[in-house]
Amino acid sequence: MITDFEGEPARPIGERRSKRSPLRDVAGMLRSFDYAALTALKSADFRAGDVNRLTVVARCWVFWVSLVFLQNYLDSSRTAGFLPASKQELKRMLDLYLLQKAIYELNYELNNRPDWVGVPIRGILDIMNAAE
Protein backbone atom coordinates (compact mmCIF):
# COMPACT_ATOMS: atom_id res chain seq x y z
CA MET A 1 0.00 0.00 0.00
CA ILE A 2 1.32 3.45 -0.89
CA THR A 3 0.30 6.39 1.28
CA ASP A 4 1.39 9.90 2.26
CA PHE A 5 2.06 11.52 -1.11
CA GLU A 6 0.44 14.81 -0.17
CA GLY A 7 3.83 16.37 0.54
CA GLU A 8 5.11 17.74 3.80
CA PRO A 9 1.94 18.35 5.86
CA ALA A 10 3.61 21.00 8.03
CA ARG A 11 4.44 23.17 4.99
CA PRO A 12 1.95 25.49 3.26
CA ILE A 13 0.32 24.11 0.08
CA GLY A 14 1.96 26.81 -2.06
CA GLU A 15 5.40 25.75 -0.87
CA ARG A 16 4.58 22.08 -1.48
CA ARG A 17 3.63 22.89 -5.08
CA SER A 18 6.83 24.84 -5.87
CA LYS A 19 9.09 23.44 -8.57
CA ARG A 20 12.22 21.88 -7.11
CA SER A 21 14.95 19.53 -8.13
CA PRO A 22 13.66 15.99 -8.64
CA LEU A 23 16.51 14.89 -6.39
CA ARG A 24 14.44 16.23 -3.50
CA ASP A 25 11.78 13.63 -4.29
CA VAL A 26 14.45 10.96 -4.72
CA ALA A 27 15.77 11.81 -1.26
CA GLY A 28 12.25 11.56 0.12
CA MET A 29 11.84 8.11 -1.40
CA LEU A 30 15.20 6.96 -0.05
CA ARG A 31 14.28 8.18 3.43
CA SER A 32 10.94 6.35 3.14
CA PHE A 33 12.76 3.03 2.94
CA ASP A 34 14.05 3.58 6.50
CA TYR A 35 10.49 4.11 7.67
CA ALA A 36 9.26 1.03 5.82
CA ALA A 37 11.88 -1.12 7.55
CA LEU A 38 11.14 0.33 10.98
CA THR A 39 7.40 -0.08 10.50
CA ALA A 40 7.95 -3.74 9.74
CA LEU A 41 10.09 -4.13 12.86
CA LYS A 42 7.60 -2.30 15.08
CA SER A 43 4.47 -3.92 13.70
CA ALA A 44 5.26 -7.52 14.55
CA ASP A 45 5.86 -9.33 17.79
CA PHE A 46 9.42 -10.62 17.70
CA ARG A 47 11.32 -12.45 20.37
CA ALA A 48 13.72 -10.14 22.19
CA GLY A 49 16.72 -12.08 20.90
CA ASP A 50 15.59 -11.68 17.31
CA VAL A 51 15.20 -7.89 17.29
CA ASN A 52 18.92 -7.12 17.01
CA ARG A 53 19.40 -9.63 14.20
CA LEU A 54 16.31 -8.39 12.37
CA THR A 55 17.46 -4.78 12.75
CA VAL A 56 20.67 -5.69 10.91
CA VAL A 57 18.64 -7.44 8.22
CA ALA A 58 16.35 -4.40 7.93
CA ARG A 59 19.34 -2.06 7.53
CA CYS A 60 20.74 -4.33 4.81
CA TRP A 61 17.36 -4.29 3.09
CA VAL A 62 17.27 -0.48 3.24
CA PHE A 63 20.77 -0.30 1.77
CA TRP A 64 20.05 -2.62 -1.16
CA VAL A 65 16.60 -1.28 -1.95
CA SER A 66 18.01 2.25 -1.89
CA LEU A 67 20.90 1.27 -4.10
CA VAL A 68 18.71 -0.43 -6.71
CA PHE A 69 16.16 2.41 -6.65
CA LEU A 70 18.87 5.06 -7.08
CA GLN A 71 20.72 3.16 -9.81
CA ASN A 72 17.54 2.68 -11.80
CA TYR A 73 16.45 6.27 -11.30
CA LEU A 74 19.81 7.62 -12.45
CA ASP A 75 19.97 5.23 -15.41
CA SER A 76 16.53 6.28 -16.63
CA SER A 77 17.12 10.01 -15.97
CA ARG A 78 20.72 10.42 -17.07
CA THR A 79 19.93 11.89 -20.50
CA ALA A 80 16.94 13.99 -19.39
CA GLY A 81 19.12 17.03 -18.65
CA PHE A 82 17.87 17.88 -15.17
CA LEU A 83 20.54 16.09 -13.13
CA PRO A 84 23.98 17.52 -12.34
CA ALA A 85 26.61 16.46 -14.87
CA SER A 86 29.30 15.45 -12.38
CA LYS A 87 28.96 12.57 -9.94
CA GLN A 88 30.46 14.71 -7.19
CA GLU A 89 27.85 17.46 -7.65
CA LEU A 90 25.07 14.85 -7.83
CA LYS A 91 26.25 13.28 -4.57
CA ARG A 92 26.47 16.65 -2.82
CA MET A 93 22.98 17.65 -3.92
CA LEU A 94 21.48 14.29 -2.97
CA ASP A 95 23.23 14.35 0.42
CA LEU A 96 21.91 17.87 1.02
CA TYR A 97 18.33 16.81 0.21
CA LEU A 98 18.69 13.68 2.34
CA LEU A 99 19.95 15.74 5.26
CA GLN A 100 17.20 18.31 4.79
CA LYS A 101 14.56 15.58 4.75
CA ALA A 102 15.98 13.83 7.83
CA ILE A 103 16.06 17.10 9.79
CA TYR A 104 12.45 17.77 8.80
CA GLU A 105 11.58 14.22 9.94
CA LEU A 106 13.33 14.78 13.27
CA ASN A 107 11.25 17.89 13.93
CA TYR A 108 8.09 16.06 12.90
CA GLU A 109 8.81 13.05 15.11
CA LEU A 110 9.73 15.20 18.11
CA ASN A 111 6.34 16.93 17.81
CA ASN A 112 4.19 13.91 16.90
CA ARG A 113 5.84 10.54 17.58
CA PRO A 114 8.77 10.92 19.98
CA ASP A 115 9.28 7.15 20.07
CA TRP A 116 10.24 7.30 16.34
CA VAL A 117 13.03 9.92 16.62
CA GLY A 118 15.60 7.17 16.21
CA VAL A 119 14.77 6.86 12.51
CA PRO A 120 15.71 10.42 11.50
CA ILE A 121 18.58 10.56 13.99
CA ARG A 122 20.07 7.40 12.47
CA GLY A 123 19.50 8.90 9.02
CA ILE A 124 21.30 12.11 9.96
CA LEU A 125 24.21 10.16 11.43
CA ASP A 126 24.42 7.92 8.35
CA ILE A 127 24.49 10.96 6.05
CA MET A 128 27.13 12.70 8.15
CA ASN A 129 29.29 9.57 8.37
CA ALA A 130 29.03 8.99 4.61
CA ALA A 131 30.17 12.57 3.99
CA GLU A 132 33.40 11.86 5.85
Tens of pLDDT, residue by residue over 22-65, are 899 999 999 999 999 988 888 778 887 888 899 899 999 999 99
Whole-number pLDDT of residue 6? 54
Whole-number pLDDT of residue 19? 78
The whole-chain average pLDDT of the chain stands at 87
Q: Which residue has the higher pLDDT, 68 or 5?
A: 68
From 16, 27, 15, select the one nearest 105 (Cα to Cα): 27
Whole-number pLDDT of residue 21? 84
Which pTM was predicted? 0.82
Please check whether the domain covering 19-131 is classified as CATH 3.30.465.10. Answer: no
Residue spans per domain, the chain: 19-131
- The sign of the torsion formed by the CA atoms of 60, 65, 70, 76 equals positive
Whole-number pLDDT of residue 1? 47
Q: Which residue has the higher pLDDT, 126 or 11?
A: 126
Residues 56-87 have pLDDT tens digits of 999 999 999 999 999 999 999 988 888 888 89
From 84, 27, 35, 82, select the one nearest 61 (Cα to Cα): 35
Whole-number pLDDT of residue 4? 56
Spatial separation of the C-alpha atoms in residues 86 and 82, rounded to whole Å: 12
